[in-house]
Amino acid sequence: MIIAIDGPAAAGKGTLAQNLAKHFKYAFLDTGRLYRAVGFAVLEQNQDPSDPYYAITCAKKFDPKNINSILKNPLLREEATGNAASKVAVIPEVRAALLDLQRDFAEHPFFEDGTSAKGAVLDGRDIGTVVCPNAEIKFFVTASAEVRANRRFKELNDAGKIASYEKILQDIKERDFRDSNRSSAPLKPAEDAYILDTSNLNATQAFQKALDLISQNHL
Ligand code: DC
């Protein structure tokens, strides 16, 4: 069983994916972290994430066996890393280098301790359209740019970080534009995805709505 969850930044797809994975005892892969790890590696070399040479070289260095430890780096969560990830993600060779890894995980999902799982939840931008077009269940989680910027702003504030709402909103709009308008695997809902607008839903309500859709249509 594969559950594919796509959507723009800060729409709540990560939280929903983790809640569903926990509920069904499936393994979870945040595919944004793969792109973030590539963006981070390029930034660490003081290079431009839009430069295909460095981005492709870093993407090809991924060791699938080491994936869990690479993705644990807390610095991957930084806003700058997210923006770098969105830039490397435009490059088709970077996407190609990460594709098998994601498909392998979907087909043979495993938990952090290495034990295998009977299902997988993957979240990203192109899971339902490109990575796992045959996923049994697909969600496209979205919310207005203003609501998403506000969530990010609160998150950063709660973590004691100084943040500007206007700058976050601008970054989110730029990232949406880049992710949605690239030629390779752009962000868009799969035709058979359930659209879940979380603008007026908290995490628990979004999870409940997703569970209702699954139990009405798939169980
Ligand atoms: O979900 P996130 O914010 O961690 O993703 C960071 C960037 O990675 C996002 O702006 C676009 C890219 N990405 C992608 O192109 N395809 C995916 N499946 C996941 C993320």
Residues paired with 66 in a beta bridge: none
Q: Is the CB of 89 under 6 A from ligand 1?
A: yes
- How much is the mean pLDDT over the chain? 95
Q: What is the DSSP string of 134-190?
A: T-SEEEEEE--HHHHHHHHHHHHHHTT----HHHHHHHHHHHHHHHHH-SSS-S---
Which ligand 1 atom is the nearest neighbour of the CA of 131?
18
Q: Which two tokens stand for residue 83?
A: 């923006």
* DSSP 8-state secondary structure symbol assigned to residue 110: B
206 touches 214 (CB < 8 A):
no
User: What tens digit of pLDDT does each residue of 14-71 get?
Assistant: 999 999 999 999 999 999 999 999 999 999 999 999 999 999 999 999 887 777 788 8
Q: The tokens of 52 are what?
A: 């295909």
Q: What pairing do the DSSP bridges indicate for beta strands 27-30 and 137-142?
A: unpaired
Percent of the chain with pLDDT over 70: 100
pTM of the model: 0.95
- Pocket probe mutation, ligand 1, options 90, 125, 182, max atoms within 8 Å of Cβ: 125
Q: Using CA positions, which residue lies closest to atom 4 of ligand 1?
A: 32
Give residue 114's pLDDT: 87
> What 3-state class would DSSP assign to 48?
coil
Distances (CA, A) of 160 to 15, 35, 88, 155, 157: 21, 26, 29, 9, 5
User: Which ligand 1 atom sits closest to the C-alpha of 83?
Assistant: 10
Q: What percent of the chain has pLDDT over 90?
A: 88
CB 45 within 8 A of CB 54: yes
CA of 125 to the centre of ligand 1 (A): 6
**Which tens digits make up the pLDDT trace of 78-120?**
989 999 999 999 999 999 999 999 999 999 999 988 899 999 9
